[in-house]
Chain A
Amino acid sequence: MSGGTNSTEMTATPATRVLGVSAVAATALMILLGLVISPADVVQGEAVRMLYLHVPSIWIAYGSFVLTSFSSLLFLARSKRRPDGGRHYDRLAGSAAEIGVLFTAITLITGMLWGKVTWGTYWQWDARLTTTVLLFVTYLGYLALRRLPVDPMVRGRRAAVMALISFINVPIVHYSVDWWRTLHQKASLSVGRRPEITGEMYWTLLYSVLTVTIIAAWLTVHRYRVIRLEELRDEETLEQLISSRRNEETADTAEPGDTI
């Protein structure tokens, strides 16, 4: 993801093409496993299939926000020591946050659809749901901060501090089902705890996590590249403006001589 100047190199490499094709193939198999091969749940019926998108989405959102925080930390630590200001860490933080927000939105939408089928309502003011929507809005604020028309380094530093503070919400969302009495069920997959599901459902869920991870990685790489291209476009436009102004000045100074 190094920043070159050739825009073709920056939008297409064999590695990312392979990643993209893998994402499409893995998604096709995920659809087959999730909708056809894995059985319906005894209690939840067909609604359980929503789980194969809902659970991986929130894990990807958590992962993306971890990446955002880690990149922000590196940006803050190295921005004054590197000649390029460590801008690639800032770009990575921004692209990961966008993917995190996208997957948090997917989590909320799939959760609401699942809630309508299972609980009979799209929304409940439950601790997990409420903290997730707050996480979503907090990172929307972060993205709004990133889009401000100010000096990129100033914007990057403020955004980095905000990313680090906003990350406090991630463990609160995850452990909300343990800390408060909630309608939302406990985590289906959790490190150091026996999974809540078994058999084909368990393997389908694990496979879905892998597939959604590939999709998210592919999207993050491309968002990073697009952000870099946008920066190059802005820099190029500025350079063009400066050079046209210089040309005007040269023409102005040459004019009296021409008339003589």
Chain B
Amino acid sequence: MLAEVLLLARKDLRIEWRAKVALGQVAPLTLLIVVIFAFALDANAPLLELGAGGLYWVAILYGGTLLTQRSFELETEDGNFDGFRMSSMKVHSLFLGKALALFVQICLLEIVLGPAILLFYDVQVANWALLVTAGVAGTMAFSVCGVLWGVMAAGLRVRTTLLPLLLVPVLAPVLLAGSRAFETALGVRADAGWSWTSLMFVISAVHTVVGLGAFGFLLEES
């Protein structure tokens, strides 16, 4: 099963590498969001420093939703799911493979966005271990939720508007936990950063279990 997961993740990443949508379009767009936030807050340095964690996750939420949408558009436009159903691969492998590919793409986005936030908002990292662990936990939660809700909207004509409507309420706890953990890691708040990080791991685990159970069912209909 691991070989199938890696194969399917590699397939998505190879398509992405050739098209360069994540790095060529989505990453610059999230950078633009970071700059726009500064305009909206009148380049108020103390306020930007205070809100850096939250703004980072809002930008990731936006970029990640676009990546999720694209991940499923590629599959449904060419009827790839029909091909998958005819193959002998397990449905669980597809769920985990797509989640892994989305995880890698969002990580790339974060590698671009993280330094930009530190630079533009002039924030210092107080706890690197917490920052990296919370980033990984949040990205994991985003990836599994994205794949689960992405397949729900896959193949529908209104998927571009429906997916954010379905996904954002589910990701709201991740956004909240990620923001609190980052604020602690950036030293702007003395809070239980590790507890918020644990919450994101719990959300990932719950959605992985639900996703493994429901994905096959949803895939039949897409």
Q: Chain B interface: which of A58-66, A82-90, A139-147?
A: A139-147
* Docked pose: A145 CA to B158 CA in angstroms: 10
Which residues of A lie under 8 Å from residue B214 when comparing CB positions? 161, 164-165
What is the size, in residues, of chain B's interface with A at 8 Å between Cβ atoms? 19
Which residues of A lie under 8 Å from residue B221 when comparing CB positions? 154, 157-158
What is the size, in residues, of chain A's interface with B at 8 Å between Cβ atoms? 19
Residues of B170-222 contacting chain A, CB below 8 A: 170, 172, 206, 210, 214, 217-218, 220-221
Residue among B162, B168, B170, B217 making CB contact with A161, cutoff 8 Å: B217
Name A residues whose Cβ lies closer than 8 Å to a Cβ of B: 76, 134, 137-138, 140-141, 144-145, 148-150, 154, 157-158, 161-162, 164-165, 168
Given A158-B221, A161-B214, A165-B210: A144 and B152 interface contact (C-beta under 8 Å): no
Task: State the total of A-B contacts with C-beta under 8 angstroms.
Answer: 44
Name B residues whose Cβ lies closer than 8 Å to a Cβ of A: 148, 152, 156-158, 162, 165-166, 168-170, 172, 206, 210, 214, 217-218, 220-221
* Docked pose: A248 CA to B69 CA in angstroms: 43
Given A157-B217, A157-B221, A162-B152: A134 and B169 interface contact (C-beta under 8 Å): yes
Which residues of B lie under 8 Å from residue A165 when comparing CB positions? 148, 210, 214
* Docked pose: A243 CA to B218 CA in angstroms: 34
Chain A interface, >50% SS class: helix
Within the complex, what minimum Cβ distance (angstroms) separates B218 from chain A? 6
Within the complex, what minimum Cβ distance (angstroms) separates B156 from chain A? 6
Query: Would you list 9 pairs from A and B whose C-beta atoms are within 8 A, ordered by A residue?
Result: A76-B217, A134-B169, A134-B172, A137-B168, A148-B158, A150-B156, A161-B218, A162-B152, A165-B148
